[in-house]
């Protein structure tokens, strides 16, 4: 009886610890930005998309190949004009199903400090196609600006 009580207490303690860890790590799953722009109506499956930044600059973002596939290497490219930029990340999140943390950081190109690029891939969904939010996070040094785009991926 004492062994069962100790086992039950250990299980409850482990569950409580997992709950606290989940609570502490949950903010990492959704980007926290100082300025969040409205969702763009541009379709990343068809073209590069642009968005005006609050400081008067402009962001052009693209994903290739098009249409955007699952489980294949994706080339991400962000070009910023008229803004000072420290870093650029892209947060991928499923709109209807959580697919885990997927936020690649784009590297500044050596010849052009306003152009950032990187690689990513999207997990496959059992339904074959999935709607995604790609939120480009632009750190200007003064603010973290979130620029969201929505697209469909599939096989």
Q: What is the pLDDT of residues 20-79, one digit of tens each?
A: 776 666 555 556 788 999 999 999 999 999 999 998 999 999 999 999 998 899 999 999
CATH level 3 topology of 32-154: Immunoglobulin-like (2.60.40)
Q: What mean pLDDT is predicted for residues 4-17?
A: 81
Q: What is the pLDDT of residues 89-139, one digit of tens each?
A: 999 999 988 888 899 999 998 888 799 999 999 987 776 789 999 999 999
Residue in this structure with the two tokens 């969904």, named with its chain if needed: 125
Burial degree of 14 (CB within 10 A; 0-12, 13-18, 19+): exposed
pTM: 0.79
If DSSP codes are grouped into helix, strand and coil, which group holds residue 146? strand
Q: How confident is the model at residue 10, as a pLDDT?
A: 80
């Amino acid at each position: 009886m004492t062994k069962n009580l100790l086992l039950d207490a250990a299980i409850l303690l482990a569950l409580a610890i997992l709950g606290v860890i989940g609570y502490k790590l949950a903010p990492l799953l959704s980007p926290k930005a100082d300025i969040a722009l409205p969702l763009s109506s541009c379709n990343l499956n068809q073209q590069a998309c642009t968005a005006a930044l609050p400081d008067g600059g402009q962001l052009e973002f693209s994903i290739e190949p098009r249409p955007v596939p699952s489980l294949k290497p994706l080339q991400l490219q962000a070009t910023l004009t008229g803004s000072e930029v420290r870093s650029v990340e892209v947060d991928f999140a499923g709109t209807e199903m959580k697919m885990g943390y997927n936020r690649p950081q784009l590297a500044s190109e050596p010849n052009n400090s306003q152009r950032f690029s990187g690689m990513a891939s999207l997990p496959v969904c059992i339904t074959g196609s999935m709607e995604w939010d790609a939120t480009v996070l632009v750190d200007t040094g003064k603010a973290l600006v979130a620029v969201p785009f929505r697209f469909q991926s599939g096989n």
